[in-house]
Amino acid sequence: MSLRQLGRQWAGSYAGNALGCALGVALLLGSGVVYGLMPGVSAVSLAKISYPLHQTFVSDGMRPPPGGAPGAGGSWEAVV
């Protein structure tokens, strides 16, 4: 496969994905389902963008679970 063929296939795939996403958004918005979910989506989005970036990677990332399970070194669950 030449570089030109690769580029053409990549562009076609990219355009198809963009068109599919746009169609999916249009269908969801047209159905009215999204408007009922907006308060929850807004709350989750606000919580995610309000979380300090340094805290995500530096502190409390591996805090042990509440009650401290015996031998537990930490938890992989996000601390929110």
Between the alpha carbon of residue 27 and those of residues 17, 22, 24, 43, the distances in Å are 15, 9, 5, 23
Task: List the domain range (segments joined by +) for residue 42.
Answer: 32-66+76-80
Q: Is the pLDDT of residue 18 over 60?
A: yes
Tally of structural domains, the chain = 2
Helical ranges in the chain per DSSP H: 3-31, 33-50, 53-57
Average pLDDT score over residue span 13-42: 89
- Greatest alpha-carbon pair distance for the chain in Å reads 60
Do 18 and 36 belong to one domain?
A: no
Average pLDDT score over residue span 58-71: 55
Residue 49: inside a domain, yes or no? yes
Residue 71: inside a domain, yes or no? no
Do 39 and 19 belong to one domain?
A: no
Threshold 0.85, pTM exceeds: no
